[in-house]
Amino acid sequence: MSSLLLTQVEGRIATLILNRPEKRNALSPELISEMTAAMVSLNENEEIRVVLIRSADKPFCAGADLSYLAKLRDFSLEENEADSQALRRLFDLIYLSPKIVISQVEGPALAGGCGLATLADLCVATPDATFGYTEVKIGFIPALVMVYLREKIGGGVLRDLMLTGRVLKAEEAFNLGLVQRLVSSDAIENVVNQMAEELCENTSQQAIASVKGMLQTIQGMTRDEALDYAAKQNAVARGSADFRKGIDAFLQKQPLKW
C-alpha cells in the first residue's frame, strides 16, 4: 500500500485517501500517478459504485507541490505540456468517471487541490473548509480546472474566482454551488459514508453512468441538438435491463435495492 495514497474498498464503495500531511497533501507527480492508476482501476471495476476522495489529515489539498513547482521553471515547453497532460488525465478520470465521485473536504482546498475537490460530482465540506483557485497570486493560471468548472458555474462567478484568486469560506462555496453539503467536523465521515451507501442502494449504476455522460455531452450543443440527443438517450434507457428491473419492481410494489 502506497504511503502517498491509501486505498480502501468496503463493498461497493472505494475511498482514496491523500496521505502527505507533512506536505499539506500537495499534488506531487508521484501522487498524481498513483491517483491516476487507482482511478483507472476503479472506473473499470464493475463492483464499485461510489468513489470517495478525502485526506488523511487537514488540509484537504494545498495544490501543487511547491518544491516541484520550483523545478518546472527549468522545464522545456514540451516537458511542461506533458506534465499538464498528466494532471489532465487524472482530472478526466475523476470528472468523466461512470461512478459517483464524492469529495470530503476538511480544511483548505486550494489551487489544484480546489480543482480536485470541486471536480467531484458531490463535494461535502465542513464549515471550516476553505476553497480557492489561487494560481494567479503566484503568476500561474488555473487553466485546466476552468474548463471543467465552466460546466458547473459560469459568467461573472467563474471570472471572479479565476481572476481574483480569492479564498472562499465553506458557506460561500456552498452558496455558489461548489459545495453540495455542509456538515460538522464530528459528523462528516458518517454523513459521507451514509450518502455513499444510500447511493449504492437507491440508484441504478446504468442510469448514473448515462446521466453523467449526458451532462457532459450536451455542453456546447444547441437546444435542438441537445433535445434530439436527449430523446434518443431516453429511448435507449427504456430498453435497458435496469429500467425493466425498476419498472417491474414499481408495478409489483416490491422494494428495490440496486
Q: What is the pLDDT of residues 121-168, one digit of tens each?
A: 999 999 999 999 999 998 989 999 999 998 888 789 999 999 999 999
pLDDT band at 251 (very low <50, low <70, confident <90, very high): confident
Neighbour tally for 106: CB within 10 Å: 22
Q: Do residues 117 and 123 make contact, with C-beta atoms less than 8 angstroms apart?
A: yes
Active site annotation includes 34: no
Pairing of strands 122-125, 181-182: parallel
pLDDT band at 1 (very low <50, low <70, confident <90, very high): very low
- In this structure, which topology does domain 5-200 adopt according to CATH? 2-enoyl-CoA Hydratase; Chain A, domain 1 (3.90.226)
Q: Which of 34, 46, 47, 135 is catalytic?
A: 135
Decide: residue 43, CB within 10 A, 0-12 exposed, 13-18 middle, 19+ buried: middle
Domain edges within the chain: 5-200, 204-251
Pairing of strands 130-132, 168-169: antiparallel
